Chain A
Amino acid sequence: MGEPLLEVIDLRVHFETDDGLVKAVDGISYTVERGETLGIVGESGSGKSVSSLTVMGLTRARNARISGTVRFDGQDLLTASDEEMRAIRGDDVAMIFQDPLSSLHPFYKVGKQIAEAVRAHREVSKAQAWDRAVEMLGLVGIPEPRRRAESYPHEFSGGMRQRAMIAMALANDPKLLIADEPTTALDVTVQAQILELIERLQSEFDTAVVVITHDLGVVAEMADEIAVMYAGRIVEKANADTIFAAPEHPYTWGLLSSIPRLDSPRGEELVPISGRPPSLINLPGGCSFHPRCPYVREAHKRVDPTLDEVPADPNHLVACLLAPEVRRQLWSELRTGVAPDEARKDVMTEEEVA
């Protein structure tokens, strides 16, 4: 298999603010292989966006403290100079942002903006770059690309702008595409078009994709591997099938049972996760999920869990202090519709006896 395309080891991004140190990302590690898709799932404030912005070298603010290693294709991105980063960004690594309107310049024609991205990294004439822009617009399914390249961003609909963003991101055949909530601002029908497009282009160019989203449906459709983030850390990581079929972390269970889904019987009660995400300045001690966890024990408020392998599956990592047998029993009860409180009663008594 060789070296992974992207290797992130123990990445920490802390911001110093007047209110205190914000631990936006607090020791995360993951790898992405060529052509593979990693999904990073989490709520707002879980650190999912900051972690990927750091990979792109976009969090180098004066108040940011960054440590760890980000190795891309053999090169360490955290120690790379700004100039080196500029050469990589937009060329080998490209990014799609959530809001396509604010990511495109309103004064310049769409075609020109894409051509500029090409000319920033390739020694080509303006005419060649323009042709490449038109080609890319056609590739992402914009009708009459030669004419539409002359349009301004405000003349495009939301879905078309997102396509233009993707065209720009892919114009230099990147090895890695980071998509931060690529479809959140779009209608479902357009979302489906964009997901299909990313998948198609990925299989054509063997691009690796990191997709960051809060939508479990989107990662289920796209990702090979999924990392679930909570309060700046990865709390669970496994391949997509496992995350949905045999999740091990109470937060993942909470996410899965709090969304209404089309494939479950109607009228099924939603089980929300109580409370709200913690402040990143003042994280709860011990397991940072403990104030919201229905299965919390006294000890969990003091001990910090580590991301460990699940006994039966070395590719499945989870950071939870509950014993593996207890977790398995809880999930088997939860999936048959037992409420968290009921499920807890069963295991709590058992463990207290032991």
Chain B
Amino acid sequence: MTDVAQPSGDTIMEVRDLVKHFPIRAGFLQRQVGAVQAVDGVSFDVIRGETLGLVGESGCGKSTTARLLLRLMAPTAGSIRFDGREIAHIKGSELKALRRDMQMIFQDPYSSLNPRKTVGSIIADPFVIHRMNPEGGRKRAVQELMDTVGLNPEHYNRYPHEFSGGQRQRIGVARALALKPKVIVADEPVSALDVSIQAQVLNLLRDLQRDLGLTLIFIAHDLSVVRHMCDRVAVMYLGKIYELATSEQLYAHPRMPYTGALMSAVPVPDPRLAAAKKRQLLSGDVPSPTNPPPGCRFHTRCWKAQEVCREEDPPLEIKEGGNVAACHFPLTDAEVLERVPTARNVTG
């Protein structure tokens, strides 16, 4: 398992067998009666300077994984190495120092900015918290940041409500960039924005990443956005990674039936392609993470499931084409093309 999660290149983060269970307590004594297995044994590497995507349905554990990476919560088990250092269980001042290297961009540009603070002081907050005095003073540093993300530096003294959704998201990006972090985690950064504004923020993130050499972990449920942004993509289902590949490979040759179904479900903005497609529907909902199905967790909704899928959890291994996937019966290219007509264009 460890070997296949290891891509070539300079790794900045190594995640091994990461587990996060949230206990469920009940009764007078608040005894633990079960656990929500939000993340259940996830291993992958993050390469310096890349954009790694995490996709999956709601409740698959992608946001929990991101919060664990940032150490906004402590993992139940497993290891996270950041720049060669184990950070899974560090505390106090060590943890605070770590925050300088890792920052987050949140989904909701309305609730993630304090309405009573000016934009200038919101973006300067990281300097205050870490008692840093950048060269030329905090104000100048903030105005430079505002300029970097495409905000007018003269609006330094305005309040968040004076900005539109897209501009607020830029404020969030500026705040995340303030300490020159090595890794930025963006959790659904554009899903609250209008279509015409989405592209502005996506282009900004992409340009910044290229210019500043950032490592970006990008979480989204929109597969087209993920493909546009990410170099590699990990597909999660019920707390586990079931497929991991480069964007080119994943979108042209998905191997795990779940990945295929996700792609097949994406509505294509082209009526002719849409009409030609055989939509691969998944029945029902994601099972409860409190009591995940045995064997392959996807078997309850998989149209290729056999007896073995119900009993044995498939290991993550390299499949045809180089994808790392966990599946007993991976998809063939013919099956993919029938269900995901867009895969054809991707290959060309």
Interface residues of A (CB under 8 A from B): 43-44, 143, 157-160, 187-193, 195-196, 214-218, 220-221, 240-241, 244, 254-256, 258-266, 269-273, 276-277
A337 to B222, CA, bound (A): 23
Known contacts being A190-B285, A263-B345, is A276 close to B197, with CB within 8 Å?
yes
A244 to B268, CA, bound (A): 11
Q: Are B266 and A217 in contact (CB under 8 A)?
A: yes
Q: Are B269 and A259 in contact (CB under 8 A)?
A: yes
Whether, in the assembled complex, B4 has its beta carbon less than 8 Å from a beta carbon of chain A, the answer is: no
Q: Are B270 and A263 in contact (CB under 8 A)?
A: yes
A–B complex contacts, Cβ < 8 Å, 6 sampled: A217-B266, A217-B269, A259-B269, A265-B345, A265-B346, A270-B199
A170 to B229, CA, bound (A): 40
Across the interface, which residues of B come within 8 angstroms of A160, CB to CB? 285
Q: Are B264 and A263 in contact (CB under 8 A)?
A: no
Chain A's closest residue to B201 (CB) is A272
A215 to B262, CA, bound (A): 17
Q: Are B268 and A220 in contact (CB under 8 A)?
A: yes
B54-105 residues at the A interface, CB under 8 angstroms = 57-58
Across the interface, which residues of B come within 8 angstroms of A265, CB to CB? 345-346, 348
Interface residues of B (CB under 8 A from A): 57-58, 164, 166, 194-200, 202-203, 221-225, 227-229, 247-248, 251, 261-274, 279, 281-285, 340-342, 345-346, 348
Q: Are B267 and A221 in contact (CB under 8 A)?
A: yes
Q: Are B164 and A258 in contact (CB under 8 A)?
A: no
> Shortest Cβ distance from A142 into chain B, in angstroms?
10
Across the interface, B265 reaches (CB within 8 A) one of A189, A255, A266, namely: A189
Q: Are A258 and B265 in contact (CB under 8 A)?
A: no
Q: Are A217 and B265 in contact (CB under 8 A)?
A: no
7 extra A-B contacts, CB within 8 A, seeds A192-B267, A260-B227, A266-B228: A157-B285, A189-B57, A196-B281, A215-B267, A216-B195, A262-B266, A276-B197
Give the top 4 A-B pairs by smallest Cβ distance, nearest first.
Answer: A217-B267, A260-B228, A272-B199, A192-B265
A191 to B269, CA, bound (A): 15
Across the interface, B203 reaches (CB within 8 A) one of A254, A263, A270, namely: A270
> Shortest Cβ distance from A186 into chain B, in angstroms?
9
A261 to B202, CA, bound (A): 13
Q: Are A189 and B247 in contact (CB under 8 A)?
A: no
Across the interface, which residues of A come within 8 angstroms of B221, CB to CB? 187-188
Q: Are A214 and B194 in contact (CB under 8 A)?
A: yes
A220 to B273, CA, bound (A): 9
A277 to B200, CA, bound (A): 14
Across the interface, which residues of A come within 8 angstroms of B285, CB to CB? 157, 159-160, 190
Q: Are A214 and B195 in contact (CB under 8 A)?
A: yes
> Shortest Cβ distance from A196 into chain B, in angstroms?
6
Across the interface, B274 reaches (CB within 8 A) one of A187, A189, A220, A270, namely: A220
> Shortest Cβ distance from A260 into chain B, in angstroms?
3
A258 to B225, CA, bound (A): 11
Chain A's closest residue to B197 (CB) is A276
Across the interface, which residues of B come within 8 angstroms of A214, CB to CB? 194-195
**Consensus secondary structure, chain B interface:** helix
Across the interface, which residues of A come within 8 angstroms of B263, CB to CB? 262
Q: Are B228 and A270 in contact (CB under 8 A)?
A: yes
> Shortest Cβ distance from B289 into chain A, in angstroms?
13
> Shortest Cβ distance from B156 into chain A, in angstroms?
20
Q: Are A263 and B268 in contact (CB under 8 A)?
A: yes
Q: Are B274 and A260 in contact (CB under 8 A)?
A: no
A255 to B198, CA, bound (A): 11
Across the interface, A272 reaches (CB within 8 A) one of B203, B251, B346, namely: B203
Question: Of residues B195, B229, B340, which shows the largest number of chain A Cβ atoms within 10 Å of its Cβ?
Answer: B195
Q: Are B199 and A259 in contact (CB under 8 A)?
A: yes
Chain A's closest residue to B200 (CB) is A272
> Shortest Cβ distance from A223 into chain B, in angstroms?
8
Chain A's closest residue to B273 (CB) is A263
Across the interface, which residues of B come within 8 angstroms of A269, CB to CB? 203
Across the interface, B342 reaches (CB within 8 A) one of A191, A256, A263, namely: A263
Q: Are A220 and B57 in contact (CB under 8 A)?
A: no
Q: Are A262 and B346 in contact (CB under 8 A)?
A: yes
Across the interface, which residues of B come within 8 angstroms of A220, CB to CB? 267-271, 274
Across the interface, which residues of B come within 8 angstroms of A195, CB to CB? 267
Across the interface, A266 reaches (CB within 8 A) one of B251, B262, B269, namely: B251
Q: Are B199 and A271 in contact (CB under 8 A)?
A: yes
Across the interface, B202 reaches (CB within 8 A) one of A217, A270, A277, namely: A270
A159 to B225, CA, bound (A): 22
> Shortest Cβ distance from B201 into chain A, in angstroms?
9
Chain B's closest residue to A240 (CB) is B271
Across the interface, B197 reaches (CB within 8 A) one of A240, A261, A272, namely: A272
> Shortest Cβ distance from B116 into chain A, in angstroms?
23
Q: Are A189 and B248 in contact (CB under 8 A)?
A: no
Question: Of residues A160, A220, A271, which shows the largest number of chain B Cβ atoms within 10 Å of its Cβ?
Answer: A220
Q: Are A262 and B227 in contact (CB under 8 A)?
A: yes
Q: Are B342 and A262 in contact (CB under 8 A)?
A: yes
A269 to B202, CA, bound (A): 10
Q: Are A43 and B228 in contact (CB under 8 A)?
A: no
Known contacts being A221-B274, A259-B224, is A216 close to B196, with CB within 8 Å?
no
Across the interface, which residues of A come within 8 angstroms of B222, CB to CB? 188
Across the interface, which residues of B come within 8 angstroms of A262, CB to CB? 223-224, 227, 251, 263, 266, 268, 340, 342, 345-346
Q: Are A189 and B262 in contact (CB under 8 A)?
A: yes
A249 to B210, CA, bound (A): 33
Across the interface, which residues of B come within 8 angstroms of A271, CB to CB? 199
Chain B's closest residue to A267 (CB) is B228
A188 to B281, CA, bound (A): 10
Chain B's closest residue to A239 (CB) is B271
Across the interface, which residues of A come within 8 angstroms of B266, CB to CB? 188, 217, 262
Q: Are B268 and A221 in contact (CB under 8 A)?
A: yes
A195 to B264, CA, bound (A): 13
Across the interface, which residues of A come within 8 angstroms of B197, CB to CB? 272, 276
Question: Of residues A160, A191, A192, which shows the largest number of chain B Cβ atoms within 10 Å of its Cβ?
Answer: A192
A189 to B265, CA, bound (A): 5
> Shortest Cβ distance from B205 into chain A, in angstroms?
11
Q: Are B264 and A192 in contact (CB under 8 A)?
A: yes
Q: Are A255 and B346 in contact (CB under 8 A)?
A: no
A193 to B267, CA, bound (A): 12
